[in-house]
Amino acid sequence: MSSMSLKRVNKELEFFYKRNYVNINENKNLVNFLDSIKIYTFMYKHPNINQENLHIIIEKDYKSLIEYRVPNDYPFKPFQIIKHNFTKLEWNKFLNVLCEHVKKVNNQKILYFFLKIQLGKWPLFLNYENKNNKCFCCTSYNCPINWSPKLKINNCLEEYIEVEFINKFVKKYNNKLLMSIYNNFLECYKLPEELFEIIVNKVL
């Protein structure tokens, strides 16, 4: 692994170890998630080629969430996702399956609305007008077309959080929960958006 790539990754990891994300992020859900995870690294030497790569494992409650491989030419190429906790499918295939599930949701705007509240920023995969014809795979930071050297591991973790939310709330029961909250509070009682966001953060 190149010294440049290793230096860059170590600098990014130091950002987490020192909890610098607290100073630049006002979204408590994201901060709480980052506070709850553990980051482990190890060097892996491929048995068939003379090459070592750094692997980054993200754990929560002693369970592995996602594992990244750092390419030799990082940050000019994205992290490679080795495995994740959603399914045994490869990351890109899983994203395409998830995209198809989202298309079957009755009201995608509600899913977008709650996701934006949870993340405190514009979602990567969902949009308000439901006009995103690109598959999730082609929207992901993991896609080389979307990757940029300015992106970092924190961007990849934000993507993970968004995928986790979508994966949870495309399920029938959980999606009905969102629709019920939306219809009962926002539509019936005409609550101010600020108050509604507080309620959402307490319930979800």
Q: How far apart are CA 115 and CA 168, in angstroms?
A: 11
What is the arithmetic mean of pLDDT over 177-192? 69
**Taking 70 as the threshold, does the pLDDT of residue 164 lie above it?**
yes
Give CA separation, 178 vs 21, 23, 145, 171, 204, in Å: 29, 31, 33, 11, 9
Over the stretch 5-64, which tens digit does the pLDDT of each residue have? 999 999 999 988 888 888 877 788 888 999 999 999 999 887 776 778 899 999 999 999
Tokens of 182: 């939306």
Q: Which amino acid is at 63?
A: K
Tokens of 22: 């607290």
Q: Which residue has the tokens 């949701």?
A: 105
**Taking 70 as the threshold, does the pLDDT of residue 128 lie above it?**
no
- Please state the domain extents for the chain: 3-203
Per-residue pLDDT, 120: 80
DSSP characters over 30-89: HHHHHHHEEEEEEEEE-SSSS-EEEEEEEEETTEEEEEEEE-TTTTSSPPEEEEESS-SS
Q: How far apart are CA 80 and CA 142, in angstroms?
A: 7
182, 113 Cβ separation under 8 angstroms: yes
- Tell me how crowded residue 149 is: count the other CB atoms within 10 A of its CB: 10
Q: Which strand ranges, in their side-by-side order, compose the sheet holding 80-84?
A: 37-45, 52-60, 63-70, 80-84
Q: Which residue has the higher pLDDT, 61 or 105?
A: 61
Per-residue pLDDT, 121: 80
Reported pTM: 0.85
